[in-house]
Amino acid sequence: MAQLTFREAIARGIAQEMRRDPAVVMLGEDVAAAGGVFKGTVGLLDEFGPQRVRDTPISEQAILGAAMGAAMTGLRPIAEIMFSDFFAVCWDIVVNEIAKSRYMTDGQVSFPLVIRSGNGGGLRFGAQHSQSVENWAMMIPGLKVVVPSSARDVIGLMAAAVRDPDPVVFLEAKALYPTKMDVPDGEIVDALGTARVLRSGDDATVLALGSMVPRTLAAAERLAGEGISVTVIDVRSLIPLDTATILREVARTGRLFTVEENPRVLGWGAEIAAVVTEEIFYDLDGPIVRITTPHIPLPAADALEDLAIPSVERIATTIAKALSD
């Protein structure tokens, strides 16, 4: 067992797959000598050399165009888009080319590539560098979407993403980069489409993703002190979505809350709420409640950003009030 920061786990996860498969390559802005702007690729250039770890021009279109071509010709590229906000610059390549070309070639060409990116707020970077865009990617047929919340899951889900035959959008919560966590030794390999029950309770089921997971766990601990027992599920994978685990736990507790960093309108919780309503409506004992960031550009001012993103206090207070009504 080792203690790793979230960013160190990213490098370990990528290195694990590069050692295993010489077809795995890493490319992006400043990912080689600089080790990444968020230091998520430190040490990769030294171990694997400039043929497999490549700095690119400052062009998101070039990065993903090169990654797509590499995947088409037998490599398994991991491409970094520095901030997930910058998907807006290269969204055509993601949506109309990478996501659809396997289907449009009747499976003659596959696209085993991972697009990883720093996602979300909490670091005072302002409205153009702090967006949570998981809902952008979730809506596109042909993409798989994962959002780890722990150093261990970064490694395991990275392995699953790299080994998958389809394109995977791998979103890393920037607010978690410096956090330290225990990580088992040896190879870690996970499975896409699996949620994880982190805490079991009887009064409600609470779903969280990315940086909202540790906040939700802290809120659950606070609620326990008030006599409220909640189940906390780390969704981890949006596409594919582990509906079996979610539906089982919601049916058992009868209440559902989602904790989302993405803006409220069309967030991932809305999709899950629709699924739950369609599948197990009569098992619900009350309305589904979504705890989200408002539908606003995220402020850069610290007090305002903290107010916008769901906090431990807001999560706990909202759940307690809803259960008491």
What digits encode the pLDDT tens for the residues 35-53? 999 999 999 999 999 999 9
- CA-nearest of 210, 110, 213 to 168 is 110
CATH of domain 196-324: 3.40.50.920
Is 271 catalytic? The answer is: no
Provide the percentage of residues in the chain whose pLDDT is more than 70. 100
What is the four-CA torsion angle of 211, 213, 215, 218, rounded to 10 degrees? -150
- Cα separation, 241 vs 272, in Å, equals 9
- Cα separation, 216 vs 233, in Å, equals 9
pLDDT, residue 273, reads: 98
- CA-nearest of 186, 112, 212, 195 to 157 is 195
pLDDT tens, position by position, 20-30: 999 999 999 99
The bridge status of strand 237-239 relative to strand 196-199 is unpaired
* Whether pLDDT at 146 is above 90: yes
> What one-character-per-residue DSSP string does 86-139 give?
GHHHHHHIIIIIITTHHHHTTTSS----EEEEEE--SSS--TTS----HHHHHT
Given 8, 17, 80, 129, the catalytic residue: 129
pLDDT tens, position by position, 274-290: 999 999 999 999 999 99
Is 60 catalytic? The answer is: yes
Given 60, 260, 261, 305, the catalytic residue: 60
pLDDT, residue 166, reads: 96
Domain boundaries, the chain: 2-183, 196-324
Q: Are 156 and 103 in contact (CB under 8 A)?
A: no
pLDDT tens, position by position, 189-232: 999 999 999 999 999 999 999 999 999 999 999 999 999 999 99
Which tokens is 132 given? 């949570």
Q: Which pLDDT band, with edges at 50, 70 and 90, does 1 fall under? A: confident
Q: What are φ and ψ of residue 95, in 5° steps?
A: -80, -45
- Cα separation, 157 vs 191, in Å, equals 7
The fold of the 2-183 domain, in CATH, is Rossmann fold (3.40.50)
Residue found under tokens 């030294």: 46
Q: What is the mean pLDDT of residues 80-93?
A: 97
Residue 302 amino acid letter: D
Q: What are φ and ψ of residue 205, in 5° steps?
A: -110, 130
* Omega cis (within 30) before 50: no
Q: Which pLDDT band, with edges at 50, 70 and 90, does 149 fall under? A: very high
The angle that helices 268-280 and 243-253 make with each other, rounded to 10 degrees, is 60
Residue of higher predicted confidence among 147 and 1: 147
Q: Which pLDDT band, with edges at 50, 70 and 90, does 4 fall under? A: very high
- CA-nearest of 21, 23, 40 to 32 is 40
* Whether pLDDT at 325 is above 90: no
Residue found under tokens 């499975």: 191
